[in-house]
Amino acid sequence: MSLDEKFNASAEKVKTFTKRPTDEELLQIYALFKQATVGDNDTEKPGLLDLKGKAKWSAWSEKKGMSKDAAKQAYIELVEKLSASYL
């Protein structure tokens, strides 16, 4: 299975979680997914009142400089680790 196939399978597996991961885990899932699919965050930082948007923006920005392939691999590993607790 190629890296892209494993990544896509992991993205589908997240949707099957029966329990909700913690907020921090969700932010890491989001940040790695965005880094793997889009690359470095070059969007404008959300406003002060958008707390959820700011948290997501910050988590993604922390991954700056990580290659898409490295982000895909990290995403796959994180989903595998979390699936033991949430499936």
Q: Please state, rounded to an integer, the average pLDDT across all residues of the chain.
A: 97
Instruction: Please report the domains of the chain, with CATH numbers, ordered by start residue.
Output: 3-86 (1.20.80.10)
Q: What is the pLDDT of residues 14-56, one digit of tens each?
A: 999 999 999 999 999 999 999 999 999 999 999 999 999 999 9
Residue 87 is predicted with a pLDDT of: 85
pLDDT tops 90 at residue 64: yes
pLDDT tops 90 at residue 8: yes
Residue 20 is predicted with a pLDDT of: 95
Q: Where are the beta strands (DSSP E) in the chain?
A: none
Tell me how far apart the alpha carbons of residues 38 and 15 are, in angstroms, rounded to a whole number: 20
Residue at token pair 């880094």: 35
Tell me how far apart the alpha carbons of residues 30 and 14 are, in angstroms, rounded to a whole number: 11
Residue 80 is predicted with a pLDDT of: 97
